[in-house]
Amino acid sequence: MENTSVFQMYHGGVKWTRIPREILGSKKNRYEGGVGIYFTNVYNTAREYARGSNVVHLVDIDRNFKDITKVDLKLSDVVNFVSNCRGMKNKNAIIKDLQNSSSRRNVDFVGASVLNNLIVNHEAGAGNVGVEVSKYFISKGIDAYMDRHSGEEFWLVVFNPNIIKKVQIVNPKTITSDFKFVLPIY
């Protein structure tokens, strides 16, 4: 019987000995969709990230995750977070952009995805800052960001590793003609 409470994605990288329970800091320019653990529904993309001695994992993700695009945050709370986030670069520019976004719509909130985009665009999420951003998103009930990357390919950026339910390694020697190189997205 198929488990309908999850959907599957691929992850290419270092072999996991267990399901990750926290986000690690990213290097500069290595978080183009936000700071988190990256998944794709395309095997060959994961294989590229797994080059060398790394592996491709097939991962079960909780279907009921909360997407960042569905969450609005109170402007004053977001500004407070950015102001107090130690080590975050370009704080003033990010705050100004947050305020402009809120002002243009004449509201006192911003979409959480706006903060995520600003952190990416201002290259402000490297290292421990990214860990703190992920923790902030989790504290607001945000689990991940699903993004259509191109064509049939989707990327899932996971901020909350608790939505990862199962991990198994894909053995390239067992791939046959009926292998799902592109997984359906929930």
Domain that holds residue 81: 68-139
**Are residues 17 and 106 both part of a single domain?**
no
Confidence (pLDDT) at 23:
72
**Are residues 39 and 130 both part of a single domain?**
no
Q: Residue 10 falls within a domain, yes or no? A: yes
- What is the pairing mode between strands 55-62 and 109-111? unpaired
What lies within 8 Å, CB to CB, of 116 at 6+ separation is: 34, 68, 133, 137, 145
Q: Final residue of a domain: which of 97, 124, 139?
A: 139
Q: Residue 79 falls within a domain, yes or no? A: yes
Question: Cβ(19)–Cβ(163) under 8 Å?
Answer: no
Confidence (pLDDT) at 28:
58
**Are residues 22 and 59 both part of a single domain?**
yes
**Are residues 99 and 129 both part of a single domain?**
yes
What lies within 8 Å, CB to CB, of 167 at 6+ separation is: 11, 16, 19, 57, 58, 59, 60
d(CA 47, CA 169): 12
Q: How far apart are the first and last CA of the chain?
A: 17
**Are residues 75 and 133 both part of a single domain?**
yes
CATH number at residue 10: 3.20.170.30
Confidence (pLDDT) at 30:
55
**Are residues 74 and 135 both part of a single domain?**
yes
Q: Report how many domains make up the chain.
A: 2
Q: What is the mean pLDDT of each run of 10 residues along the chain (186 residues)?
A: 84 88 66 82 93 91 97 98 95 97 94 95 89 96 93 94 95 88 87
**Are residues 82 and 132 both part of a single domain?**
yes
